[in-house]
Structure 1
Amino acid sequence: MTPGARVAAAIEILDDMSQGRAAEQALTRWARNSRFAGSKDRAAVRDHVFDVLRCRRTAAHFGQGQDGRALMIGLLHQQGADLSALFDGAGHAPPPLSDKERAFPGPPADLSTALNLPDWLVPLFEASLGADTTATAQALQTRAPVHLRVNVARTTVLQAAEKLALEGVDTERNSLSPTALTVTQGARRIKQTSVFKEGLVELQDGASQAVVDAIPAGRKVLDYCAGGGGKALALAAQTSRRVYAHDADPNRMTDLPERANRAGTSIAILNHDQVLKTAPYDVILCDAPCSGSGAWRRAPGGKWLLTPDRLTALTQIQDDILDATAPLLSSGGTLVYATCSVLASENEDRVAAFLDRHAGWASPFQRRFGVTSQGDGFFTAHLTRE
């Protein structure tokens, strides 16, 4: 596919999404109907679509519209692309720009458009992030870095980096965690490397690893909201621990046994009744469902789907999870709360609300992680009985 044809494909997918289809569904639908597209073509088209989602408001502003063509014009204008070369009508490229389309407006005057956030979220960002609001919103408009967690139970960080380099994946040390590497080249090759296939590395954000690093000692550990199991695997790599995993949706853990086997470790998967029977635990990690606002670089559609009502519902879920797990903790144990959110309403406010509801508890440790090249936006807090 030519660069222009890739733009045309992105326009088609964005128009499909305007009918209510999710990004991944629209991309899959296009790929199935476009067998001629190679892997590099599919990756380039995907990048276009997700770049629009990250910058949808400014793309619509500069493109002067909400349809796929306008959004791609606005995006590519922001990126400084040669629009005349991409929109020339040759082959499968989109038709040339009209005079109106070439008359780009000036920078957006309103803050929510400039920050590429829904109007209602801007005050929450400002209240939560203060002086870091603009930098965080801008960081969320960029593509996410790729980070790896080295399975230090089986190799060293240096050895893993050297082996990856031999297979075309270049990395550098990540400042947030001693087990983390940031991929600088060859990210799309990772899953084809022997290093990955042999369980020596896992894909995991740097801040996510730092959350695990901060978890205190404890032999018996429950990952109560395990999801795909990334943090459970990181905990299991610390061989002094016995790790249990649970999730309200067990289907999310389907691949966890295979991943644990590849990593050379074991994780006991528990249903709700088994969680109760296996209690108490020395450490319980509650990586609670949240807005995902700290990781919107990776899932940019989330910021346009989040509503005030949904955020309120999430905070209730977060409270319920903490209340449900607190009684399962052993004497002297630690309840670890974590989110990939930058919003205080999901972070510090939830910890304060828990302490208000539970006399005799304290939070001796809290930490925020900003949205940077080293990791996504995360929050974690430790809760203990005084």
Structure 2
Amino acid sequence: MTPGARLSAAIDILVDIFRSETPADRIFENWARASRYAGSKDRAAVSAIVYGVLRHKAELEHALGAPAHEVTPRLMAAGWLTLRAGEEADAVLALMTGEKHAPEPASEEEAAALKADALPGPDTAPHIRLNYPDWLQPEFEDAFGERLEPELAALMDRAPTDLRANTLKASREEALAALKEAGVEVEEGGLSPWSIRLLKKANLPALKPFRDGLVEIQDEGSQLACLLAGARPGEQAVDLCAGGGGKSLALAATMENHGQIFACDLEARRLKALMPRAQRAGCRNIQTMPLHPWVPGEADPDLTELTGRADLVLVDAPCSGTGAWRRSPDARWRLTTEKLAAYRAAQAEVLERAAPLVKPGGRLVYVTCSLLPSENEDRVAAFLAAHEGFAEEPWTKHWPEDLPRPASLSGIALRLSPATSGTDGFFVSILRRRA
């Protein structure tokens, strides 16, 4: 592909992303599969433009003239090359010839915008410089206070790829050795006792250690949430929002395949991926349970038999995903006040569904990959106000004494973030049901 064709492809992908609800990574993968002529360097170049625009959308729009005039995906893609990739405006305009799959020539207005563009200065509003919706400003101020700028800046970085050593099949040292033998550059993670961090990209599904179940892809923050859940051999555990089952697999390892894990989800389609993963990982104590919708106050159509039986109920609640913006930069622009309200309602409902399952003395562990207090502390406070039989316990009480503690933002719950702990953003609250 010529540089002009790469730019044109990036523009087309961005148009699709901004006009649909389909995640950006899926749109990009669809393009890559359909574009067999695009080599690895072509895909990397197109990806850099697409994800560069998504990470820096607000500052690009500001630099290129918004709100005075519309800043199109086409102009943002060209602007990313000049503002962030260091290309000269004339060189980028020279790519826009309309020939050999290149974008159509720039208009006078587009050319003027590219030549006049400049990154926002330090006095520009934080939501523009740090690229997030302005209506989230009060939430982020509440969450971070004086640390707002470094915390939000870290959300614009690319996220590393972390693996979890599956201790049902190998120690972390054995998994590391197997990966290195397969030619993968890796190192130990710094927080989770199971974490392995990739230093360079690798085709993991093609690797023997992955196919043999020695490792699973799982962010280190997610691993820490599973560690704090404290699942022990012989317990009865419910993973109420299991999805593809990554946390269920981690719980199975800490339980050493003894006891029972009920992996539940409203989307049976997502649960179907779990059992092949469990078989590969050597997990034998997981049972999947597709759920039906439930109306609070009525009998549970699926979980009545588990009432009061669970030592652990893990609620990995549906949320805004603000803690994972490094991995899904388009998600920050898809979030709306209406969607956030719907997430909060879903969180309250799933907590209500979880509470009856916890036996006296058992624990309900509430987890989100959100950084927003309205999805985290506020939800826990509302739950405790309605359920006097539960009490929140400090996360430090449950942290293994032989492991160094991760840096956590203030509060009784564990609060992880890219800037503070080097992980995705996670919130983990441990709620004990009184005996």
TM-score bucket (shorter structure): over 0.9
Which residue does 2:405 correspond to in 1? none
Q: Please point out which of 256, 259, 277 is paired with 2:274.
A: 256
1:271 and 2:290 matched: yes
Residue 348 of structure 1, aligned match among 374, 377, 390 = 377
127-136 vs 361-370, greater mean Cα deviation = 127-136
Output the amino acid matched with 2:219.
D
1:209 maps to a residue whose letter is Q
User: What is the match of residue 79 of structure 1?
Assistant: 84
TM-score, normalization by structure 1: 0.92
Per-residue deviation, residues 75-117 of structure 1 (Å, max 9, x unmatched): 2334243245555338545558835412223525222111201
Q: 1:68 aligns with which of 70, 73, 91?
A: 73
The separation in 2 between residues aligned to 1:148 and 1:212, in whole angstroms, is 14
Gaps of 5+ in 1: none
**How far does residue 181 in structure 1 lie from its aligned partner after superposition?**
1.2
SS at 2:199 equivalent? strand
Number of residue-to-residue matches in the alignment: 385
5+ residue gaps, structure 2, are: 292-300, 395-412
Contact 1:228 1:255 survives alignment (8 Å) = yes
Q: Is 1:204 the counterpart of 2:193 in the alignment?
A: no
**Structural mapping, 1:98-247, within 5 Å:** 98-108=111-121, 109-185=124-200, 187-218=201-232, 219-238=235-254, 239=256, 240-247=258-265
**Bigger mean CA offset, 220-229 vs 46-55:** 46-55
Q: Please give the alpha-carbon distance, in whole angstroms, between the structure 2 residues aligned to 1:92 and 1:356.
A: 61
1:10, CA displacement in angstroms?
A: 0.5
Q: Is the Cα–Cα contact under 8 Å of residues 367 and 428 in structure 2 kept in the other structure?
A: yes
Distance 1:349 1:201, change over 3 A: same
Q: Aligned to 2:428, which of 361, 380, 383?
A: 380
Q: Percent identity?
A: 41
1:284 aligns with 2:313: yes
> Is the alpha carbon distance of 1:132 and 1:77 closer, same or farther for their aligned partners in structure 2, counting shifts above 3 Å?
farther
Q: Does 2:54 align with 1:46?
A: no
Quote how far apart the aligned CAs of 1:39 are.
Answer: 4.2
Whether contact under 8 Å (1:285, 1:335) holds in the other structure is: yes
CA distance in 2, matches of 1:75, 1:10: 11
Measure, in 1, the Cα distance between the counterparts of 2:93 and 2:259: 57
Q: Which amino acid aligns with 2:223?
A: Q
* Cα contact 2:83–2:119 (8 A) shared by 1: no
Moved more, 250-259 or 233-242: 233-242
Q: 1:246 to 1:47 in 2, by over 3 A?
A: farther
Alpha carbons of 1:21 and 1:120: their partners in 2 closer, same or farther (altered >3 Å)? closer
Of residues 308, 312, 324, the one that matches 2:353 is: 324
Amino acid across the alignment from 1:14: L
CA-to-aligned-CA distance 1:249-297 (integer Å, 9 cap, x gap): 1111121000000101131001344533244111000000000000011
- Measure, in 2, the Cα distance between the counterparts of 1:269 and 1:314: 24
How far has the Cα of 1:29 moved from its partner?
Answer: 5.1
